[in-house]
Amino acid sequence: MKKLWAGRFREKTSKIVESFTESISFDKRLWKHDIEGSIAHAKMLGKKGIIKKEDSEKIIKGLEDIAKDIRTGRFRFREDLEDIHMNIEAALIKKIGDVGEKLHTARSRNDQVALDLRLYLREESKEILSLISRLQKTFLDIATKHIKSIIPGYTHLQRAQPVLLSHHLLAYIEMLMRDRGRLNDTLKRINVLPLGSCALAGTTLPIDRAYTAKLLGFASISSNSIDAVSDRDFAIEFLSAAAILIMHLSRLAEELILWSTEEFDFIEFPDAFTTGSSIMPQKKNPDVAELIRGKTGRVFGSLISLLTIMKGIPLSYNRDLQEDKLPIFDTVDIIKNCLSVLNEMLPHIKFNTKRMQETAGEVYSTSTDVAEYLVTKGVPFRKAHEITGKIVLYCINRKKKLEELTLKELKTFSKLFSKDIFYCFKAEESVTRKKSAGGTSPNEVIKQIRRLRNLIR
Protein backbone atom coordinates (compact mmCIF):
# COMPACT_ATOMS: atom_id res chain seq x y z
CA MET A 1 0.00 0.00 0.00
CA LYS A 2 1.21 3.51 -0.77
CA LYS A 3 2.67 5.24 2.24
CA LEU A 4 1.04 8.48 3.37
CA TRP A 5 4.45 10.15 3.39
CA ALA A 6 5.72 8.73 0.09
CA GLY A 7 5.87 12.00 -1.90
CA ARG A 8 9.60 12.76 -1.69
CA PHE A 9 10.78 9.16 -1.97
CA ARG A 10 12.04 7.50 -5.15
CA GLU A 11 12.50 4.03 -3.73
CA LYS A 12 10.22 1.75 -1.80
CA THR A 13 11.00 1.10 1.83
CA SER A 14 12.88 -2.14 2.22
CA LYS A 15 10.98 -4.99 3.82
CA ILE A 16 13.42 -5.35 6.66
CA VAL A 17 13.10 -1.66 7.49
CA GLU A 18 9.35 -1.96 7.40
CA SER A 19 9.33 -4.71 9.95
CA PHE A 20 12.12 -3.11 11.97
CA THR A 21 10.34 0.22 12.31
CA GLU A 22 6.74 -0.91 12.62
CA SER A 23 4.86 -0.42 15.86
CA ILE A 24 1.42 -1.56 14.74
CA SER A 25 2.00 -4.99 16.26
CA PHE A 26 1.81 -3.37 19.68
CA ASP A 27 0.40 0.14 19.34
CA LYS A 28 -2.84 -1.15 17.82
CA ARG A 29 -3.84 -1.27 21.46
CA LEU A 30 -4.21 2.52 21.20
CA TRP A 31 -6.87 2.39 18.47
CA LYS A 32 -9.72 3.64 20.65
CA HIS A 33 -7.73 6.57 21.94
CA ASP A 34 -6.39 7.39 18.50
CA ILE A 35 -9.91 7.56 17.11
CA GLU A 36 -11.21 9.51 20.09
CA GLY A 37 -8.40 12.06 19.57
CA SER A 38 -9.02 12.25 15.84
CA ILE A 39 -12.74 12.85 16.29
CA ALA A 40 -12.07 15.74 18.66
CA HIS A 41 -9.46 17.11 16.26
CA ALA A 42 -11.86 16.90 13.30
CA LYS A 43 -14.54 18.68 15.33
CA MET A 44 -12.15 21.47 16.13
CA LEU A 45 -11.04 21.80 12.50
CA GLY A 46 -14.69 22.06 11.45
CA LYS A 47 -15.60 24.54 14.15
CA LYS A 48 -12.69 26.81 13.22
CA GLY A 49 -13.53 26.61 9.53
CA ILE A 50 -10.09 25.12 8.77
CA ILE A 51 -12.01 22.39 6.98
CA LYS A 52 -15.65 22.51 5.92
CA LYS A 53 -18.27 21.52 8.51
CA GLU A 54 -19.62 18.81 6.25
CA ASP A 55 -16.11 17.41 5.71
CA SER A 56 -15.60 17.34 9.44
CA GLU A 57 -18.85 15.44 9.83
CA LYS A 58 -17.90 12.95 7.11
CA ILE A 59 -14.55 12.35 8.79
CA ILE A 60 -16.18 11.80 12.17
CA LYS A 61 -18.69 9.36 10.71
CA GLY A 62 -15.88 7.52 8.93
CA LEU A 63 -13.85 7.28 12.14
CA GLU A 64 -16.86 5.95 14.03
CA ASP A 65 -17.31 3.27 11.38
CA ILE A 66 -13.65 2.31 11.66
CA ALA A 67 -14.08 2.01 15.43
CA LYS A 68 -16.95 -0.36 14.81
CA ASP A 69 -14.86 -2.38 12.34
CA ILE A 70 -12.03 -2.71 14.84
CA ARG A 71 -14.36 -3.59 17.69
CA THR A 72 -15.97 -6.36 15.68
CA GLY A 73 -12.67 -7.73 14.38
CA ARG A 74 -13.25 -6.68 10.78
CA PHE A 75 -10.26 -4.38 10.58
CA ARG A 76 -6.99 -5.55 9.04
CA PHE A 77 -3.95 -3.99 10.68
CA ARG A 78 -1.12 -3.64 8.15
CA GLU A 79 2.54 -3.68 9.00
CA ASP A 80 3.45 -1.72 5.87
CA LEU A 81 1.38 1.14 7.30
CA GLU A 82 3.76 1.33 10.24
CA ASP A 83 1.66 2.32 13.19
CA ILE A 84 -1.86 2.77 14.52
CA HIS A 85 -2.07 6.37 13.35
CA MET A 86 -1.28 5.53 9.72
CA ASN A 87 -3.45 2.42 9.76
CA ILE A 88 -6.49 4.38 10.84
CA GLU A 89 -5.83 7.36 8.59
CA ALA A 90 -5.31 5.14 5.54
CA ALA A 91 -8.49 3.23 6.35
CA LEU A 92 -10.37 6.52 6.65
CA ILE A 93 -9.17 7.69 3.24
CA LYS A 94 -10.13 4.36 1.78
CA LYS A 95 -13.55 4.58 3.38
CA ILE A 96 -14.56 8.18 2.67
CA GLY A 97 -12.19 9.16 -0.13
CA ASP A 98 -10.20 12.38 -0.49
CA VAL A 99 -12.05 14.11 2.37
CA GLY A 100 -10.21 11.75 4.66
CA GLU A 101 -6.96 13.39 3.61
CA LYS A 102 -8.02 16.51 5.49
CA LEU A 103 -7.93 14.92 8.94
CA HIS A 104 -4.19 15.28 9.39
CA THR A 105 -4.38 19.08 9.00
CA ALA A 106 -2.56 20.95 11.78
CA ARG A 107 -1.44 17.74 13.38
CA SER A 108 1.58 15.48 13.33
CA ARG A 109 2.02 11.93 14.52
CA ASN A 110 4.34 13.41 17.11
CA ASP A 111 1.61 15.25 18.99
CA GLN A 112 -0.88 12.54 18.03
CA VAL A 113 1.05 9.73 19.69
CA ALA A 114 1.68 11.85 22.77
CA LEU A 115 -2.06 12.45 22.93
CA ASP A 116 -2.94 8.78 22.50
CA LEU A 117 -0.58 7.76 25.25
CA ARG A 118 -2.01 10.33 27.62
CA LEU A 119 -5.57 9.24 26.87
CA TYR A 120 -4.56 5.62 27.35
CA LEU A 121 -2.72 6.16 30.62
CA ARG A 122 -5.51 8.36 31.94
CA GLU A 123 -8.02 5.58 31.41
CA GLU A 124 -5.78 2.81 32.74
CA SER A 125 -4.69 4.83 35.77
CA LYS A 126 -8.31 5.31 36.74
CA GLU A 127 -8.95 1.60 36.40
CA ILE A 128 -5.87 0.77 38.45
CA LEU A 129 -7.00 3.26 41.09
CA SER A 130 -10.31 1.49 41.44
CA LEU A 131 -8.57 -1.91 41.66
CA ILE A 132 -6.37 -0.53 44.44
CA SER A 133 -9.43 0.71 46.33
CA ARG A 134 -10.96 -2.72 45.98
CA LEU A 135 -7.85 -4.30 47.40
CA GLN A 136 -7.93 -1.88 50.30
CA LYS A 137 -11.54 -2.86 50.96
CA THR A 138 -10.56 -6.52 50.82
CA PHE A 139 -7.89 -5.90 53.46
CA LEU A 140 -10.33 -3.90 55.54
CA ASP A 141 -12.87 -6.72 55.50
CA ILE A 142 -10.28 -9.30 56.57
CA ALA A 143 -8.98 -6.97 59.27
CA THR A 144 -12.50 -6.41 60.58
CA LYS A 145 -13.13 -10.13 60.63
CA HIS A 146 -9.95 -10.78 62.62
CA ILE A 147 -10.07 -7.61 64.61
CA LYS A 148 -8.67 -9.07 67.83
CA SER A 149 -6.49 -11.92 66.58
CA ILE A 150 -2.93 -11.59 67.78
CA ILE A 151 0.15 -12.46 65.75
CA PRO A 152 3.85 -12.19 66.39
CA GLY A 153 5.09 -8.91 64.98
CA TYR A 154 8.53 -9.21 63.38
CA THR A 155 11.67 -7.18 62.97
CA HIS A 156 14.66 -8.75 61.21
CA LEU A 157 12.27 -11.65 60.59
CA GLN A 158 12.66 -12.48 64.28
CA ARG A 159 9.64 -12.41 66.52
CA ALA A 160 9.68 -8.97 68.11
CA GLN A 161 6.41 -7.96 69.83
CA PRO A 162 2.84 -9.22 69.68
CA VAL A 163 0.58 -7.18 67.40
CA LEU A 164 -2.94 -7.50 66.11
CA LEU A 165 -3.33 -9.28 62.78
CA SER A 166 -5.76 -6.51 61.83
CA HIS A 167 -3.09 -3.90 62.59
CA HIS A 168 -0.63 -5.77 60.38
CA LEU A 169 -3.12 -5.90 57.50
CA LEU A 170 -3.90 -2.22 57.91
CA ALA A 171 -0.23 -1.52 57.23
CA TYR A 172 -0.83 -2.66 53.64
CA ILE A 173 -3.83 -0.35 53.35
CA GLU A 174 -1.55 2.55 54.29
CA MET A 175 0.95 1.59 51.58
CA LEU A 176 -1.87 1.37 49.06
CA MET A 177 -3.16 4.76 50.19
CA ARG A 178 0.18 6.31 49.27
CA ASP A 179 0.11 4.41 45.96
CA ARG A 180 -3.23 5.99 45.21
CA GLY A 181 -1.82 9.38 46.11
CA ARG A 182 1.06 8.93 43.70
CA LEU A 183 -1.19 7.77 40.86
CA ASN A 184 -3.64 10.61 41.43
CA ASP A 185 -0.76 13.03 41.38
CA THR A 186 0.55 11.49 38.15
CA LEU A 187 -2.90 11.90 36.65
CA LYS A 188 -2.54 15.67 37.02
CA ARG A 189 0.51 15.57 34.74
CA ILE A 190 -1.09 13.09 32.36
CA ASN A 191 -4.18 15.21 31.97
CA VAL A 192 -2.62 17.89 29.73
CA LEU A 193 -3.39 18.13 26.01
CA PRO A 194 -0.33 17.97 23.72
CA LEU A 195 -2.32 18.04 20.47
CA GLY A 196 -1.78 21.16 18.40
CA SER A 197 1.95 21.10 19.06
CA CYS A 198 2.14 19.42 15.65
CA ALA A 199 5.59 18.20 14.65
CA LEU A 200 7.34 20.44 17.18
CA ALA A 201 6.70 24.05 16.31
CA GLY A 202 2.94 24.52 16.31
CA THR A 203 1.08 25.54 13.17
CA THR A 204 0.25 28.53 11.01
CA LEU A 205 -3.39 27.43 10.93
CA PRO A 206 -5.89 29.02 13.36
CA ILE A 207 -6.51 26.01 15.63
CA ASP A 208 -8.32 26.18 18.97
CA ARG A 209 -6.44 23.92 21.35
CA ALA A 210 -8.54 24.84 24.37
CA TYR A 211 -11.61 23.60 22.53
CA THR A 212 -9.97 20.25 21.71
CA ALA A 213 -8.87 19.99 25.35
CA LYS A 214 -12.43 20.58 26.47
CA LEU A 215 -13.77 17.93 24.11
CA LEU A 216 -11.29 15.37 25.41
CA GLY A 217 -11.68 16.30 29.07
CA PHE A 218 -8.15 17.62 29.55
CA ALA A 219 -7.62 20.07 32.38
CA SER A 220 -5.19 22.20 30.41
CA ILE A 221 -3.11 22.45 27.25
CA SER A 222 0.66 22.06 27.06
CA SER A 223 2.50 25.38 26.99
CA ASN A 224 5.53 24.52 24.89
CA SER A 225 5.15 22.61 21.64
CA ILE A 226 8.76 21.41 21.65
CA ASP A 227 8.38 19.99 25.13
CA ALA A 228 4.95 18.55 24.43
CA VAL A 229 6.06 16.23 21.61
CA SER A 230 9.15 15.02 23.43
CA ASP A 231 7.91 14.79 27.00
CA ARG A 232 7.33 11.36 28.49
CA ASP A 233 7.67 12.42 32.13
CA PHE A 234 4.05 11.50 32.74
CA ALA A 235 4.79 7.94 31.57
CA ILE A 236 7.91 7.72 33.71
CA GLU A 237 5.89 8.95 36.66
CA PHE A 238 3.26 6.35 35.93
CA LEU A 239 5.93 3.63 35.81
CA SER A 240 7.48 4.93 39.03
CA ALA A 241 4.14 4.84 40.80
CA ALA A 242 3.55 1.36 39.38
CA ALA A 243 7.00 0.20 40.50
CA ILE A 244 6.37 1.36 44.06
CA LEU A 245 2.91 -0.15 44.03
CA ILE A 246 4.11 -3.55 42.85
CA MET A 247 7.01 -3.42 45.30
CA HIS A 248 4.28 -3.34 47.96
CA LEU A 249 2.42 -6.23 46.35
CA SER A 250 5.67 -8.16 46.18
CA ARG A 251 6.31 -7.66 49.89
CA LEU A 252 2.81 -8.90 50.58
CA ALA A 253 3.39 -11.88 48.29
CA GLU A 254 6.65 -12.69 50.05
CA GLU A 255 4.93 -12.52 53.42
CA LEU A 256 2.09 -14.76 52.29
CA ILE A 257 4.59 -17.29 50.97
CA LEU A 258 6.45 -17.30 54.28
CA TRP A 259 3.26 -17.50 56.29
CA SER A 260 2.07 -20.47 54.26
CA THR A 261 5.19 -22.57 54.97
CA GLU A 262 5.06 -25.48 57.40
CA GLU A 263 7.55 -23.53 59.46
CA PHE A 264 5.23 -20.56 59.99
CA ASP A 265 1.91 -22.28 59.40
CA PHE A 266 -0.01 -19.01 59.76
CA ILE A 267 -2.17 -19.24 56.62
CA GLU A 268 -3.47 -21.69 54.11
CA PHE A 269 -3.95 -20.76 50.47
CA PRO A 270 -7.18 -21.91 48.88
CA ASP A 271 -6.72 -24.90 46.56
CA ALA A 272 -8.11 -22.92 43.66
CA PHE A 273 -5.23 -20.46 43.94
CA THR A 274 -2.34 -22.88 44.26
CA THR A 275 -0.77 -25.43 41.95
CA GLY A 276 0.67 -28.88 42.43
CA SER A 277 4.03 -30.41 41.63
CA SER A 278 4.52 -32.68 38.65
CA ILE A 279 6.60 -35.07 40.75
CA MET A 280 5.83 -34.51 44.44
CA PRO A 281 2.24 -35.53 45.07
CA GLN A 282 1.99 -33.86 48.45
CA LYS A 283 2.87 -30.36 47.21
CA LYS A 284 0.68 -27.31 47.10
CA ASN A 285 2.65 -24.36 45.84
CA PRO A 286 1.96 -20.64 46.27
CA ASP A 287 2.57 -19.86 42.60
CA VAL A 288 0.27 -16.85 42.44
CA ALA A 289 2.20 -15.05 45.15
CA GLU A 290 5.51 -16.13 43.62
CA LEU A 291 4.52 -14.79 40.23
CA ILE A 292 3.50 -11.45 41.71
CA ARG A 293 6.95 -11.30 43.28
CA GLY A 294 8.52 -12.31 39.97
CA LYS A 295 6.57 -9.90 37.79
CA THR A 296 7.78 -7.11 40.05
CA GLY A 297 11.15 -7.50 38.37
CA ARG A 298 9.62 -6.82 35.00
CA VAL A 299 7.92 -3.64 36.18
CA PHE A 300 11.14 -2.33 37.71
CA GLY A 301 12.81 -3.17 34.40
CA SER A 302 10.19 -1.17 32.51
CA LEU A 303 10.86 1.90 34.61
CA ILE A 304 14.58 1.61 33.98
CA SER A 305 13.89 0.97 30.28
CA LEU A 306 11.99 4.18 29.80
CA LEU A 307 14.40 6.26 31.86
CA THR A 308 17.23 4.91 29.76
CA ILE A 309 15.36 5.45 26.48
CA MET A 310 14.76 9.07 27.46
CA LYS A 311 18.17 10.00 28.77
CA GLY A 312 19.89 10.43 25.42
CA ILE A 313 17.13 11.99 23.36
CA PRO A 314 17.80 15.53 22.13
CA LEU A 315 14.75 17.75 21.64
CA SER A 316 12.29 17.23 20.22
CA TYR A 317 10.65 14.05 18.85
CA ASN A 318 12.92 11.17 17.95
CA ARG A 319 11.86 7.73 16.87
CA ASP A 320 13.39 6.25 20.04
CA LEU A 321 10.18 7.41 21.68
CA GLN A 322 8.29 4.63 19.95
CA GLU A 323 10.04 2.24 22.34
CA ASP A 324 8.11 3.75 25.27
CA LYS A 325 5.03 1.69 24.55
CA LEU A 326 6.02 -1.89 25.31
CA PRO A 327 7.24 -1.19 28.85
CA ILE A 328 4.13 0.89 29.49
CA PHE A 329 1.71 -1.73 28.15
CA ASP A 330 3.50 -4.54 29.93
CA THR A 331 3.35 -2.65 33.21
CA VAL A 332 -0.34 -1.81 32.85
CA ASP A 333 -1.14 -5.49 32.21
CA ILE A 334 0.97 -6.75 35.08
CA ILE A 335 -0.38 -4.26 37.58
CA LYS A 336 -4.00 -4.93 36.65
CA ASN A 337 -3.51 -8.70 36.69
CA CYS A 338 -1.72 -8.70 40.03
CA LEU A 339 -4.34 -6.50 41.69
CA SER A 340 -7.19 -8.54 40.22
CA VAL A 341 -5.79 -11.91 41.28
CA LEU A 342 -5.09 -10.61 44.79
CA ASN A 343 -8.62 -9.27 45.01
CA GLU A 344 -9.90 -12.73 44.13
CA MET A 345 -7.51 -14.71 46.29
CA LEU A 346 -7.19 -12.80 49.56
CA PRO A 347 -10.75 -13.33 50.82
CA HIS A 348 -10.23 -17.12 50.52
CA ILE A 349 -7.03 -17.35 52.51
CA LYS A 350 -7.51 -19.19 55.80
CA PHE A 351 -5.81 -17.63 58.78
CA ASN A 352 -4.60 -20.07 61.39
CA THR A 353 -5.32 -17.65 64.21
CA LYS A 354 -4.79 -20.27 66.89
CA ARG A 355 -1.22 -20.86 65.81
CA MET A 356 -0.62 -17.14 65.39
CA GLN A 357 -1.89 -16.46 68.89
CA GLU A 358 0.20 -19.27 70.41
CA THR A 359 3.41 -18.08 68.83
CA ALA A 360 2.72 -14.40 69.51
CA GLY A 361 3.58 -14.60 73.22
CA GLU A 362 6.59 -16.88 72.83
CA VAL A 363 10.31 -16.10 72.80
CA TYR A 364 10.14 -13.28 75.33
CA SER A 365 8.22 -11.06 72.96
CA THR A 366 6.73 -9.09 75.87
CA SER A 367 10.12 -8.09 77.27
CA THR A 368 9.71 -4.49 76.17
CA ASP A 369 6.51 -4.37 78.21
CA VAL A 370 8.49 -5.46 81.26
CA ALA A 371 11.01 -2.70 80.69
CA GLU A 372 8.19 -0.17 80.28
CA TYR A 373 6.66 -1.47 83.52
CA LEU A 374 9.87 -0.56 85.31
CA VAL A 375 9.81 2.85 83.64
CA THR A 376 6.41 3.49 85.22
CA LYS A 377 8.07 2.74 88.57
CA GLY A 378 10.62 5.45 87.93
CA VAL A 379 13.51 3.45 86.44
CA PRO A 380 15.27 5.20 83.55
CA PHE A 381 14.56 3.28 80.32
CA ARG A 382 18.20 2.32 79.66
CA LYS A 383 18.44 0.81 83.15
CA ALA A 384 15.06 -0.92 82.73
CA HIS A 385 16.26 -2.35 79.42
CA GLU A 386 19.35 -3.76 81.07
CA ILE A 387 17.45 -5.29 84.00
CA THR A 388 14.94 -6.92 81.62
CA GLY A 389 17.75 -8.18 79.43
CA LYS A 390 19.24 -9.92 82.46
CA ILE A 391 15.87 -11.47 83.29
CA VAL A 392 15.61 -12.79 79.72
CA LEU A 393 19.10 -14.27 79.91
CA TYR A 394 18.23 -15.86 83.26
CA CYS A 395 15.14 -17.43 81.66
CA ILE A 396 17.03 -18.63 78.57
CA ASN A 397 19.61 -20.34 80.79
CA ARG A 398 16.91 -22.09 82.78
CA LYS A 399 14.63 -22.75 79.80
CA LYS A 400 11.86 -20.77 81.44
CA LYS A 401 9.16 -18.55 80.05
CA LEU A 402 8.76 -15.08 81.57
CA GLU A 403 5.42 -15.97 83.07
CA GLU A 404 6.98 -18.97 84.84
CA LEU A 405 9.12 -16.70 86.99
CA THR A 406 8.09 -16.21 90.60
CA LEU A 407 7.78 -12.81 92.16
CA LYS A 408 10.67 -13.75 94.41
CA GLU A 409 12.91 -14.47 91.45
CA LEU A 410 11.82 -11.24 89.80
CA LYS A 411 12.58 -9.22 92.91
CA THR A 412 16.20 -10.35 92.76
CA PHE A 413 16.43 -8.24 89.59
CA SER A 414 14.50 -5.25 90.91
CA LYS A 415 12.73 -4.53 94.14
CA LEU A 416 10.15 -2.57 92.16
CA PHE A 417 8.41 -5.65 90.74
CA SER A 418 5.07 -6.51 92.31
CA LYS A 419 2.18 -8.83 91.42
CA ASP A 420 0.85 -6.67 88.61
CA ILE A 421 3.93 -7.47 86.55
CA PHE A 422 2.38 -10.79 85.59
CA TYR A 423 -0.16 -9.05 83.34
CA CYS A 424 2.71 -7.61 81.34
CA PHE A 425 3.86 -11.05 80.27
CA LYS A 426 0.69 -11.82 78.38
CA ALA A 427 0.44 -11.13 74.66
CA GLU A 428 -3.20 -9.94 74.94
CA GLU A 429 -2.29 -7.52 77.68
CA SER A 430 0.74 -6.34 75.76
CA VAL A 431 -1.40 -5.57 72.74
CA THR A 432 -4.24 -3.93 74.67
CA ARG A 433 -1.87 -1.54 76.36
CA LYS A 434 -0.21 -0.27 73.17
CA LYS A 435 -2.56 2.69 73.19
CA SER A 436 -0.25 5.25 71.63
CA ALA A 437 -1.65 6.79 68.44
CA GLY A 438 -1.09 4.42 65.54
CA GLY A 439 -0.24 1.61 67.98
CA THR A 440 -1.56 -1.92 68.01
CA SER A 441 -4.23 -1.72 70.74
CA PRO A 442 -7.69 -2.85 69.61
CA ASN A 443 -9.11 0.59 70.35
CA GLU A 444 -6.52 2.27 68.18
CA VAL A 445 -6.99 -0.25 65.39
CA ILE A 446 -10.76 0.14 65.48
CA LYS A 447 -10.26 3.88 65.22
CA GLN A 448 -8.04 3.35 62.18
CA ILE A 449 -10.53 0.98 60.59
CA ARG A 450 -13.24 3.64 60.96
CA ARG A 451 -11.03 6.30 59.44
CA LEU A 452 -10.08 4.05 56.54
CA ARG A 453 -13.67 2.97 55.89
CA ASN A 454 -14.51 6.62 55.29
CA LEU A 455 -11.53 7.15 53.04
CA ILE A 456 -11.91 4.08 50.87
CA ARG A 457 -14.76 4.15 48.45
Binding site for ligand ARG (CB under 6 A): 23, 27, 83, 85, 109-110, 113, 317, 319, 321-322
User: Toward ligand ARG, which CB reaches closer, 70 or 395?
Assistant: 70
Helix axis angle for 442-455 and 165-190, nearest 10°, is 30
- Name the residue nearer to ligand ARG (CB basis): 109 or 146: 109
Q: How far is the CB of 318 from ligand ARG (least distance, A)?
A: 9
- Least distance in angstroms from the C-beta of 435 to ligand ARG: 57
Nearer to ligand ARG, 93 or 387 (CB): 93
CB of 317 to ligand ARG, least distance (A): 6
Nearer CB in complex with ligand ARG: 84/449: 84
Q: Which is nearer to ligand ARG, 4 or 244 (CB)?
A: 4
**Minimum CB separation from ligand ARG for residue 222, in Å?**
16
CB of 9 to ligand ARG, least distance (A): 14
Q: How far is the CB of 36 from ligand ARG (least distance, A)?
A: 17
Q: Give the catalytic positions in this structure.
A: 156, 277
Task: Give the residue with the Cβ less far from ligand ARG, 102 or 109.
Answer: 109
